[in-house]
Chains A and B, each alone.
Chain A
Amino acid sequence: KNEVEQSPQNLTAQEGEFITINCSYSVGISALHWLQQHPGGGIVSLFMLSSGKKKHGRLIATINIQEKHSSLHITASHPRDSAVYICAVLGEGGSEKLVFGKGTKLTVNP
């Protein structure tokens, strides 16, 4: 059974700080997703990774397949980045079901 662990569970930062959220999983995967969920509930797909690194604006996502670990970085954080960030992985072997982490609640104070 694939388990997804995120850390930290909660994170408070000052505006401008560099943020890192971690995600570890236990079995081989075909893809890893980073999602953002704002207080109103809406979900935004940030990244889908199967290897390497992706960058979009101030967001960077990396994945290390050998170590079964991914990180989401936010540079120059801003209060509007406050949200829950969710890591989800898609298993190998034709499984179509995503396994979700419990999320990391980020609060960025001005």
Chain B
Amino acid sequence: GAVVSQHPSWVICKSGTSVKIECRSLDFQATTMFWYRQFPKQSLMLMATSNEGSKATYEQGVEKDKFLINHASLTLSTLTVTSAHPEDSSFYICSAQRGVIEQYFGPGTRLTVT
């Protein structure tokens, strides 16, 4: 099956700093990648859709200047949480789309902002 990796798997940062999370499709090219956020005991919430070579499409209520998404190649998308605050602490998950309907999930990145 297709493999999607995320790096780092967990990160702790201080309030006010920025954190970059990488999402890679290891064995296929993904024209579209998705970024999700999950709070404890809640379902995944779509933050943004990222297409290679173009600007990401953000869901309503997601600050695009705070959550910077770059889809630089067909195998790599990055999410940068800028000026992180404790309320940004969450589990961030990416998925990569292969073809029209196949979507594969990364293992997630747990961000803790102190």
Contacts and interface: CB of A to CB of B under 8 A. Distances in A.
A50 B99 CA distance: 14
Contacts, number: 50
19 contacts: A31-B101, A31-B102, A42-B107, A42-B108, A43-B106, A43-B107, A45-B105, A48-B102, A48-B103, A88-B44, A96-B34, A97-B46, A97-B49, A98-B44, A98-B46, A98-B95, A98-B103, A102-B43, A103-B43
Contacts of B108: 41-43
Interface string B35-52: 000100001101001000
Interface of B, secondary structure class, is strand
Contacts of B93: 43
Interface in B73-114: 91, 93, 95, 97, 100-108, 110
A97 to B, nearest CB: 6
Contacts of B100: 30
Q: How large is the interface on A (under 10, 10 to 19, 20 to 34, 35 or more residues)?
A: 20 to 34
B1 interface: yes
A100 B103 contact: no
B32 interface: yes
Contacts of B101: 30-31, 48, 50, 90
Given A33-B103, A100-B44, 9 more contacts: A41-B38, A43-B93, A44-B105, A45-B1, A45-B104, A50-B101, A86-B44, A90-B101, A96-B32
Contact of B91 (A31, A41, A102): A41
A43 B6 CA distance: 11
Contacts of B103: 31, 33, 45, 48, 90, 98
A35 interface: yes
Contacts of B46: 97-98
A43 B102 contact: no
Nearest to B9: A42
